[in-house]
Homo-oligomer: A and B are copies of this chain.
Amino acid sequence: MARVVVDVMLKPEILDPQGQAIARKLPQLGFEGITGVRQGKRFEVEVDGPADAAALGRVRKIAETLLANPVIETFELRVE
């Protein structure tokens, strides 16, 4: 059993209303010095067996079709 992490973020040119709303709020909560926040998703995918090329290929396919929306998001895989 191994764990593959998939990080999904909005493409940089796509508006992130959530991140912006958080960033706007920080100074009111007394937090200074933050110039931007972007919010994305993190998935921990447990694969049966080792995180070999085949398993990574499968997770990549899952990320492409289900976890990320390729029109507006990018993703990265990482083995943990």
- On A, residues with C-beta under 8 Å from B are 1, 7-9, 19, 22, 25-26, 29, 31, 33-49, 55, 58-59, 61-62, 65-67
* Min CB–CB distance A38 → chain B (angstroms): 5
* Min CB–CB distance A8 → chain B (angstroms): 8
Enumerate chain B residues within 8 angstroms of A8, measured Cβ to Cβ: 42
Also in contact, A48 and B65, with CB within 8 A (given A9-B42, A39-B41, A39-B43): no
CA distance A25 to B46 in the complex (A): 15
* Min CB–CB distance A29 → chain B (angstroms): 7
CA distance A45 to B25 in the complex (A): 13
CA distance A36 to B47 in the complex (A): 7
